[in-house]
Amino acid sequence: MPASDRSLELVTAAAAAAADKLATDVVALDVSDQLFITDAFLLASAPNERQVRAIAEAVEEKLLPLGSKPVRREGEREGRWILLDFIDVVVHVQHVEEREYYALERLWKDCPLLDLPQPATSDQQA
Protein backbone atom coordinates (compact mmCIF):
# COMPACT_ATOMS: atom_id res chain seq x y z
CA MET A 1 0.00 0.00 0.00
CA PRO A 2 1.55 3.34 -1.02
CA ALA A 3 2.05 6.25 1.34
CA SER A 4 -1.19 7.89 2.46
CA ASP A 5 -2.35 11.33 1.34
CA ARG A 6 -1.68 12.58 4.87
CA SER A 7 1.90 11.28 4.72
CA LEU A 8 2.41 12.94 1.36
CA GLU A 9 1.10 16.22 2.76
CA LEU A 10 3.48 16.04 5.72
CA VAL A 11 6.53 14.96 3.73
CA THR A 12 5.94 17.75 1.19
CA ALA A 13 5.63 20.37 3.94
CA ALA A 14 8.71 19.02 5.70
CA ALA A 15 10.70 19.10 2.45
CA ALA A 16 9.65 22.72 1.85
CA ALA A 17 10.75 23.68 5.37
CA ALA A 18 14.10 21.93 4.88
CA ALA A 19 14.62 23.65 1.52
CA ASP A 20 13.82 27.03 3.10
CA LYS A 21 16.75 26.45 5.48
CA LEU A 22 19.01 25.50 2.54
CA ALA A 23 19.07 21.76 3.14
CA THR A 24 20.82 19.81 0.41
CA ASP A 25 19.98 16.46 -1.18
CA VAL A 26 16.39 16.48 0.06
CA VAL A 27 14.89 13.09 -0.81
CA ALA A 28 11.63 11.41 0.19
CA LEU A 29 11.23 7.63 0.18
CA ASP A 30 7.98 5.67 0.31
CA VAL A 31 8.81 2.99 2.90
CA SER A 32 5.19 1.93 3.49
CA ASP A 33 5.63 -1.48 1.84
CA GLN A 34 8.75 -2.24 3.89
CA LEU A 35 7.80 -0.81 7.29
CA PHE A 36 4.52 -0.99 9.14
CA ILE A 37 5.40 1.81 11.55
CA THR A 38 5.69 4.70 9.06
CA ASP A 39 4.87 5.58 5.46
CA ALA A 40 7.74 7.82 4.41
CA PHE A 41 11.26 8.92 5.19
CA LEU A 42 12.49 12.40 4.40
CA LEU A 43 16.26 12.73 4.17
CA ALA A 44 18.02 16.10 4.17
CA SER A 45 21.64 17.16 4.59
CA ALA A 46 23.49 20.17 5.96
CA PRO A 47 27.19 21.06 6.10
CA ASN A 48 27.34 21.86 9.83
CA GLU A 49 25.64 21.10 13.15
CA ARG A 50 24.05 24.54 13.45
CA GLN A 51 22.30 24.16 10.13
CA VAL A 52 21.21 20.59 10.96
CA ARG A 53 19.48 21.98 14.06
CA ALA A 54 17.95 24.89 12.14
CA ILE A 55 16.49 22.55 9.53
CA ALA A 56 15.03 20.24 12.17
CA GLU A 57 13.46 23.21 14.00
CA ALA A 58 11.99 24.55 10.74
CA VAL A 59 10.44 21.17 9.94
CA GLU A 60 8.83 21.01 13.39
CA GLU A 61 7.48 24.55 13.06
CA LYS A 62 6.06 23.84 9.59
CA LEU A 63 4.29 20.62 10.61
CA LEU A 64 2.81 21.93 13.87
CA PRO A 65 0.03 23.97 12.15
CA LEU A 66 -0.81 20.81 10.19
CA GLY A 67 -1.57 19.09 13.49
CA SER A 68 1.58 17.02 13.59
CA LYS A 69 4.06 17.03 16.45
CA PRO A 70 7.03 14.68 16.72
CA VAL A 71 6.41 11.77 19.07
CA ARG A 72 10.14 11.11 19.23
CA ARG A 73 13.17 13.31 18.71
CA GLU A 74 16.74 12.02 18.74
CA GLY A 75 20.22 13.40 18.17
CA GLU A 76 19.62 17.04 19.06
CA ARG A 77 22.50 17.27 21.51
CA GLU A 78 25.16 16.25 18.98
CA GLY A 79 23.49 17.97 16.03
CA ARG A 80 25.01 15.56 13.51
CA TRP A 81 21.88 13.52 12.81
CA ILE A 82 18.50 14.59 14.10
CA LEU A 83 15.62 12.18 13.73
CA LEU A 84 12.06 13.50 14.02
CA ASP A 85 9.35 10.84 14.20
CA PHE A 86 5.93 12.19 13.20
CA ILE A 87 4.47 8.62 13.05
CA ASP A 88 3.37 8.88 9.39
CA VAL A 89 6.69 10.42 8.39
CA VAL A 90 10.19 10.12 9.84
CA VAL A 91 12.54 13.00 9.06
CA HIS A 92 16.30 12.44 9.07
CA VAL A 93 18.38 15.63 9.02
CA GLN A 94 22.01 14.63 8.72
CA HIS A 95 25.38 16.27 8.57
CA VAL A 96 26.81 15.64 5.10
CA GLU A 97 29.45 13.27 6.51
CA GLU A 98 26.84 11.13 8.34
CA ARG A 99 24.67 11.08 5.23
CA GLU A 100 27.53 9.69 3.16
CA TYR A 101 28.63 7.21 5.82
CA TYR A 102 25.22 5.73 6.69
CA ALA A 103 23.87 5.96 3.11
CA LEU A 104 20.20 5.49 3.97
CA GLU A 105 19.29 5.73 0.29
CA ARG A 106 21.32 2.58 -0.35
CA LEU A 107 19.79 0.81 2.62
CA TRP A 108 16.28 1.61 1.38
CA LYS A 109 17.08 1.41 -2.36
CA ASP A 110 14.11 -0.87 -3.02
CA CYS A 111 11.70 1.82 -1.86
CA PRO A 112 10.31 4.22 -4.47
CA LEU A 113 11.13 7.90 -4.37
CA LEU A 114 8.30 10.31 -3.69
CA ASP A 115 7.97 13.34 -5.94
CA LEU A 116 8.75 16.59 -4.18
CA PRO A 117 8.10 20.05 -5.56
CA GLN A 118 11.27 21.79 -6.63
CA PRO A 119 12.11 24.89 -4.57
CA ALA A 120 12.20 28.16 -6.46
CA THR A 121 15.70 29.27 -7.38
CA SER A 122 16.90 32.81 -8.01
CA ASP A 123 16.80 32.06 -11.78
CA GLN A 124 13.13 31.13 -11.58
CA GLN A 125 12.25 34.20 -9.50
CA ALA A 126 13.79 36.66 -11.97
pLDDT tens, 39-91?
999 999 999 999 999 999 999 999 999 999 999 999 988 889 999 999 999 99
Which structural domain range is residue 106 located in? 5-116
Does 123 reside within a domain? no
**Domain total of the chain:** 1
Q: Quick one: what percent of the chain has pLDDT higher than 90?
A: 84
Give the CATH number of the domain where residue 60 resides: 3.30.460.10
pLDDT value at position 24? 96
Instruction: Count other Cβ atoms within 10 Å, centred on residue 64.
Output: 11
Q: Round to whole Å and give the CA distance between 8 and 102.
A: 25
> What's residue 1's pLDDT?
67
Identify which has the larger pLDDT, 124 or 36. Answer: 36
